[in-house]
Amino acid sequence: MGKGGSLSDSVIKKILLSYTYVAIWIFLSFTVIVYNKYILDKKMYNWPYPISLTMIHMSFCATLAVLLIKVFKLVEPVTMSRDLYLSSVVPIGALYSLSLWLSNSAYIYLSVSFIQMLKALMPVAVYSIGVVFKKEGFRSDTMANMLSISVGVAIAAYGEARFDTWGVFLQLGAVCFEATRLVMIQILLTSKGITLNPITSLYYVAPCCLVFLFVPWIFVEFPILKETSSFHFDFVIFGTNSLCAFALNLAVFLLVGKTSALTMNVAGVVKDWLLIAFSWSVIKDTVTPINLFGYGLAFLGVGYYNHSKLQALKAKEAQKKAQPTDEEAGRLLEEREGEGTTKKSESLD
């Protein structure tokens, strides 16, 4: 009884911790999205410079990462050769900078609710790019599921009251670059046995992102900012915004490390619904019935996709557990056969 009670307590504790990690990630992700929208939207803080905002985030994160690794030595750096850095980290940094730049730019043109609906295409993009790079096997039922998600998002886009073609193009570009980055991480780093925690990943990736963002910034935003004499850098606004972005990176690692990437995907769906509700009730974005119907259809597709992934993971785990049992049974069989041979030889003697 005591043993059973102890097991029950540990299970409850594990569940509570998982929900805590999910809640922290949802809160921080929610905060960063709404905060970025507040800064970039012309009707709110009115600072429509997405490249500059992304560069501020990357500068803040890189500085903190350097302090934690080099100065305070709280985190161990990962040993990485120059060739590995150039062949693996640089492409990932380039994709990450493009993804952040385009996704932040989309907040200027689209509502928070509609952006979250478009983000439902992420599994479609990750699966499609995974198939192209041969990291995922092509399956007709999975592709049919991907098509149902795409149709749902298309219906939501059709019902969007504030549809902006350029904004949609930016957000879809951000989804494609982010999906490619995730697949590239799997190909370039995981396959080489390199694991980066959020601090070491920011230490290596953030400076790389800054370099890539600097090129468009010089031509696109720097000339405008130079002429804007009225702007003064608000340390409170940009400092707290950057701190939230840094904390979100830590929360992602905590959530995936302590639970799984699948848990994060499921939590992401909950976060999207919360953001849609917030966008409609607080920011007063228009959410039409067609919007909700389309996103509902996409949501069912994403839910089914997550469910399929969960079943596949369970089957894989069961196979792993069964393997030692099969080996043990084989070993016992060999031992029995050996004993039988020994007895036979003894009786012949």
Question: DSSP letters of 173-221?
Answer: HHHHHHHHHHHHIIIIIGGGT----HHHHHHHHHHHHHHHHHHHHHHHT
Residue 197 confidence (pLDDT) = 82
Reply yes or no on whether the pLDDT at 342 is more than 80: no
Kindly state the average pLDDT of the residues 80-88.
88
Q: What is the dihedral of CA 261, 268, 237, 221, to 10 degrees?
A: 80
Calculate mean pLDDT across residues 167-172: 96
Q: Which residue has the higher pLDDT, 340 or 230?
A: 230
* Run of H or E including 50: helix 50-66
pLDDT of 5 reads: 47
Q: Give every CB contact of residue 236 below 8 A, 6+ residues apart in sequence.
A: none
What is the reported pLDDT for 8? 64
Predicted confidence at residue 63, as pLDDT, reads 95
**Residues 191-196: what's their mean pLDDT?**
77
User: Does the pTM exceed 0.85?
Assistant: no
pLDDT digits (tens, 9 = 90+) for 109-123: 999 999 999 999 998
- Say which range, 73-82, 118-127, 157-166, has the weakest mean pLDDT: 73-82
Vertex 19, ends 3 and 202: CA angle to 5°?
120
How confident is residue 59, by pLDDT bands cut at 50, 70 and 90?
very high
Distance (Å, rounded) from C-alpha 270 to C-alpha 23?
10
Q: Which residue has the higher pLDDT, 6 or 120?
A: 120
Return the SS3 of 259: coil
In angstroms, rounded to a whole number, what is the distance separating the alpha carbons of residues 291 and 141?
26
3-state SS track over 304-334: HHHHHHHHHHHHHHHHHHHHHHHHHHHHHHH
Q: Is residue 338 over pLDDT 70?
A: no
Average pLDDT, rounded, for the chain: 85
Spatial separation of the C-alpha atoms in residues 316 and 311, rounded to whole Å: 9
Which residue has tokens 């100065």? 71
* Phi, psi torsion values for 17, nearest 5 degrees: -65, -40
Tens-digit pLDDT profile for residues 220-241: 999 998 887 666 788 999 999 9
Q: What number is the average pLDDT over the span 79-91?
A: 89
- Percent of the chain at pLDDT > 70 equals 88
Alpha-carbon 226 to chain mean position: 35
Determine contact, residues 177/129, Cβ cutoff 8 Å: no
For residue 43, the SS3 value is: coil
What b/e readout covers 52-68, taking b as 16+ CB neighbours within 10 angstroms?
bbbbbbbbbbbebbbeb
Average pLDDT over residues 296-313: 86
